[in-house]
Amino acid sequence: MTQPTPRITDSHCHLDFPDFGHELDLVVNRAVAAGVTRMVTICTRLRNEPQVRGIADAYPPVFYAAGTHPMSAAEEPMATLEELIALARHPKFVGIGETGLDYHYTADSAAVQEESLRIHIAAAQETGLPLIVHARDADEDMARILTEEYRARPYGCVMHCFSSGAGLARAALDLGFYLSMSGIAAFPRSQELREIFAAAPLDRILLETDAPYLAPPPHRGKRNEPAYTVHTARVGAELFGLDYADFAARTQANFDRLFWKAARWQEAA
């Protein structure tokens, strides 16, 4: 008897990006065929929210989130708490962000990034939806801000595409947050990152592609897509000493716990 394909979720992708052109039907179908039965597509500039919402509306397996990416924070109008709360009323809007801090290329806008991040945190606190955080070369400030705001009022959070240091991982995990494995965790030179994931509690691990970026082997260097979540998931299963089906089931439960609105939508569908 043939075993069913284990179900997993791509918790972070960018299906509105031009890399996918007119192939969305094929991309979504390939994902579902691979067992990736849910995808969260992320809006990084709020002016693009109608387009991203339209994708979620058009494809049953797709949910969405919206925010201002930290690298765009100085270029875009500052998001308001009211604006984010209003967007969150859509039934398939399941997270706040991505937001965060990125000092790699845009350290000169650090103050604006922090202001934007705190507004997004307030929206997560107010709506109960998880915060989706991008962090690069800003570990100390990120840990400080997330901790300050959590102590003022708790909220849920995923450190998306986590590739920062062990210190930020510990700070996030201590707050009850989640770490998301992207294709970076499958890169041959990412042993230190894999060790950070392996030391984390299994019930705090999510999967993602960040497609169209960061395709895992054997597709590295090519356009990433949600179907490739399975390659990262296989690396994760090996890290935790589980077979693929068990690891898939555990990450599904983790996603359902954090992205509770997506889980409830599926139950109601």
Annotation-wise, does 195 bind a ligand? no
Annotation-wise, does 210 bind a ligand? yes
1 assigned to some structural domain: no
175 assigned to some structural domain: yes
pTM score, two decimals? 0.97
3 assigned to some structural domain: no
Model pLDDT for residues 57-69, shown as the tens digit of each residue: 999 999 999 999 9
Domain span at residue 88? 8-268
Model pLDDT for residues 197-239, shown as the tens digit of each residue: 999 999 999 999 999 999 999 999 999 999 999 999 999 999 9
Annotation-wise, does 12 bind a ligand? yes
Q: How many domains does the chain have?
A: 1
Percent over 90 (pLDDT), the chain: 96
CATH number for the domain harbouring residue 70: 3.20.20.140
Annotation-wise, does 98 bind a ligand? yes
Q: What is the DSSP string of 121-138?
A: HHHHHHH-PPEEEEEES-
CA pair distance 163, 172, nearest whole angstrom: 13
Beta-strand relationship, 8-13 and 157-159? unpaired
The neighbour count for residue 33, using CB atoms within 10 Å, is 10
The whole-number pLDDT of residue 269 equals 62
